[in-house]
Amino acid sequence: MTDLLLWLHIGFAIFALGPVTAATVSTPRFIRAQNVDVLRYLHRTTRAYAIAGVGVFLFGALLGREYLGRPYLSVSMTLFIVAAVLLFIVERDQRTAIRVLSNENPDDDAKVQTGRIAMLSGLISLIWLVILVLMVWGDPV
């Protein structure tokens, strides 16, 4: 059972967190280009893979259920929750950028969303890397 949970945890990490990170990191470029069709696609991608990313947390918690008191797991789980909250903010900003760029006012260019999405998506990526380091070099027991 442990091997299955490990495979599911790693599989969800690869196939959910990778695409959601790629979608959020590339969003500012398409906001600047004012390409609403691609932004809608990136927004749907962010939403779908963020929901799938819950599997990473779920299978990780099930896998480490005996060691949840270990500091590296507590820190990793806390960082994951922080990243999930930031991802929710990025998704909201994507929605706002789509709404702003879809209206007819040429003065609205979604610059606020561009900067915030760029900053938060970079921070989320950094959090994923910190969690990876904690999982690989954490407490070996």
pLDDT in tens, 49-63: 999 999 999 999 999
pLDDT at residue 41, rounded to an integer: 98
Q: How far apart are CA 75 and CA 70, in angstroms?
A: 9
pLDDT at residue 80, rounded to an integer: 97
pLDDT band of residue 132 (cuts 50, 70, 90) is: very high
Q: How far apart are CA 75 and CA 8, in angstroms?
A: 21
DSSP assigned state of 70: S
Cβ distance 9 to 59 under 8 Å?
Answer: yes
Place of tokens 């790629």: 22
pLDDT at residue 141, rounded to an integer: 54
User: Largest Cα–Cα distance in the chain?
Assistant: 59
pLDDT at residue 109, rounded to an integer: 66
Q: Which two tokens stand for residue 141?
A: 């027991």
Q: How far apart are CA 24 and CA 42, in angstroms?
A: 7
% of the chain at pLDDT higher than 70:
95
Is the pLDDT at 23 greater than 60? The verdict is yes
Structural domain range at position 49:
2-137
- Per residue in 62-73, pLDDT (tens digit) is 998 888 889 999
Is the pLDDT at 76 greater than 90? The verdict is yes
How many domains, in total, are found in the chain?
Answer: 1
Determine the average pLDDT of the residues in 13-37. 95
